[in-house]
Amino acid sequence: MQALWMLLASAMFAVMGSFVKLAAEHGASMPQIVLFRGLPSVVLLLIYARAQGLSFVPAAWMPHVWRNLTGVSSMWLGFFAIAGLPLATATSLSYTAPLFIAGWILFKGAARRDPVCIAAVFFGFLGVLAVLRPSITIEQILPAVLGLCSGALAAVAMMQIREIGRLGEPEWRTVLFFSIVATTSSFVGIAMGSWSWSDWIGWIALFSIGASGLLGQLALTRAYGLGSALLNAALQYSTIIFAALIGIGFWGERIDDLALFGGICIICAGLMSVWRTISVPSPDQTTHESAAFRLPSETDKDPSR
């Protein structure tokens, strides 16, 4: 049952990405897309918190500030990447956050002698290179760079979420603050004139972004409540496979052999990182670096969604 919930979550996030792409193709502006992604979570979490009589005051504000600045920026850049790249390519780039964390740890020296960590970083970024060339065109270079920047910022957001977790913050409050900041940022974009009256397909896609994203988050939370984090972490990479199938089926996207090899490298590198951080924890796991490298929880999984 746990595997089914996790596969459902992965499928829903892939479907959400496809609706982001569809909405952009049918005239919706990026602020509209972000608005429809964030607003449903704000409404539901506010209702939940009020019904339970929960406090909205966090233990500390600054970790939330940094988490939301990086996480919301990552989401914007990731959506731009989805709009301008094949769906499978954009999804693969969005799953590079653990590789940036591992690379940062190696640079800091916390895991310099760990061969598994080194191999994960090597295979991960080899996969990124394979995905990017020759599978993208010159016009897609900017969206690809934005996708990589999205992964890098998501890595920073993951580390901030770990700091928030150590403060004892409940997950609902972390997600609520993120959704509020995301929705507010969309209002700023709309106020600057980024509102577009797209066709009926675009509007259906916009509403579907919120619905599929919310279903994905609920299924993800349910999966992590049932058992093995290692199994969930392995199955989360099925999002790339679902995105590839959707891209082939609805957009006629072709995945060349080199891009396929790159996607496999990214998946294997992510699984190596997960195995290393869960099955073989480092002796200095209480440090900030090792805590950041541990497997994220359900609220960490998708800091940009």
pLDDT-based confidence at residue 277 (cuts at 50, 70, 90): low
Phi, psi of 299 (to 5 degrees): -80, -20
- Please tell me the predicted confidence (pLDDT) of residue 52: 93
Q: Are 299 and 220 in contact (CB under 8 A)?
A: no
Average pLDDT over residues 32-40: 93
Nearest to 205 by CA among 7, 29, 5, 6: 29
Taking only the tens place, the pLDDT of each residue in 287-297 is 333 333 333 44
Q: Where are the domains of the chain?
A: 2-293
- Please tell me the predicted confidence (pLDDT) of residue 142: 92
Residues 19 and 14: their CA atoms lie apart, in Å, by 9
Structure-model confidence comparison of residues 12 and 2, the more confident one: 12
- Please tell me the predicted confidence (pLDDT) of residue 42: 93
Least confident of 53-62, 83-92, 164-173: 164-173
pTM for this predicted structure: 0.83
Structure-model confidence comparison of residues 108 and 17, the more confident one: 17
Taking only the tens place, the pLDDT of each residue in 101-151 is 777 767 776 555 667 777 777 888 788 878 776 567 788 889 999 999 998
Taking only the tens place, the pLDDT of each residue in 93-115 is 888 877 787 777 677 765 556 67
- Please tell me the predicted confidence (pLDDT) of residue 167: 85
Average pLDDT over residues 36-60: 92
Winning range, highest mean pLDDT, from 106-120, 157-171, 244-258: 244-258
- Tell me how crowded residue 290 is: count the other CB atoms within 10 A of its CB: 17
- Please tell me the predicted confidence (pLDDT) of residue 227: 61
Instruction: Say yes or no to pLDDT of 205 above 80.
Output: yes
Long-range CB contacts (within 8 A, 24+) of 116-119: 116/272, 116/275, 116/276, 116/280, 117/273, 117/276, 117/293, 119/269, 119/272
Q: Are 282 and 108 in contact (CB under 8 A)?
A: no
Least confident of 35-49, 130-144, 153-167: 130-144
Residues 98 and 101: their CA atoms lie apart, in Å, by 5
Residues 246 and 263: their CA atoms lie apart, in Å, by 15
Q: What percent of the chain has pLDDT over 90?
A: 37
